[in-house]
Amino acid sequence: MNRASLLTGILLSLDIACLTPGLLAAEGPTSPSESNRLTKGAFLVSSPNLMDPNFRHTVVLICEHNHEQGTLGIILNRPTEVLLSDALPQIAVLKATSYQVFWGGPVQQQSILMLFRLTKPPEEPKEVMTGVYLGAGPDTLSQVITKPNPTETFRAYAGYAGWAPGQLEYEMSLGSWGIVSADTTSIFDKDPGSLWVDLVEKLRAPRVIRSNQPMMTIN
């Protein structure tokens, strides 16, 4: 998606989901068979054979997962040319900053969600994994920008990825996705352009992902 169309969509119907990220209800129990696999705080890595343009060569952070309402995730490796200061012009602290908006997925692309890496939980924490939170108030955003702790940071995403109950499990049974344990460096510090290739390499040794393509052909 190009800068003009994404920015126009955000400005026409702006919903700052980073401030109120209740996109799924409270999580239900996770079955023992999935406790080490499909759960929040894990990376979904798309198979090289997955041709869906929404998810081709993507890495998705699972932010919420339960059996009653399904799965919510954010695509991590699709940066756009849109500046967050342009997408959220009403937030003064963003003026003259160079934070990019990433494309988080095909659902509610007019919404902006934010992932934070924080040393202390925000006032209304929605913890995805240790030290990583989905959404926080404007005070937290201001603090991270104006008085940054060296380890604290954030990223902004337009839209998210969503699966109905059982849908993602079915896609995984077809070999469309593999799972890798998530880490904060991959989310916030790693070059998004190399993230998918690096994680596919991790999955190839045990052949968690089914693929007929040799690694050298991956673009």
Cα separation, 44 vs 60, in Å, equals 5
Architecture category of domain 3-17+38-217 in CATH: 3-Layer(aba) Sandwich (3.40)
**Average of per-residue pLDDT across 126-137:** 90
Radius of gyration of the chain (CA): 17
Q: Specify the pTM.
A: 0.82
User: Is 108 within 8 Å of 17 (Cβ atoms)?
Assistant: yes
Q: What is the pLDDT of residue 136?
A: 74
Q: What percent of the chain has pLDDT over 70?
A: 77
Q: What is the pLDDT of residue 203?
A: 86
Q: Is the pLDDT of residue 1 over 80?
A: no
Q: Which residue has the higher pLDDT, 27 or 158?
A: 158
pLDDT confidence tier of residue 34, bands split at 50, 70 and 90? very low
User: Is 120 within 8 Å of 133 (Cβ atoms)?
Assistant: no
Q: Is the pLDDT of residue 162 over 80?
A: yes
State how far the alpha carbon of 59 is from the alpha carbons of 69, 121, 178, in Å.
21, 25, 10
Domain range annotation of the chain: 3-17+38-217
Q: What is the pLDDT of residue 169?
A: 94
Tell me the backbone φ, ψ of residue 11, rounded to 5 degrees: -70, -30
Q: Residue-wise over 9-40: b if at least 16 C-beta within 10 A, else e? A: bbeeeeebbbbebebbeeeeebeeeeeeebbb
Closest CA to 154 of 188, 178, 191: 188
Sign of the dihedral through C-alpha 51, 23, 63, 186: positive
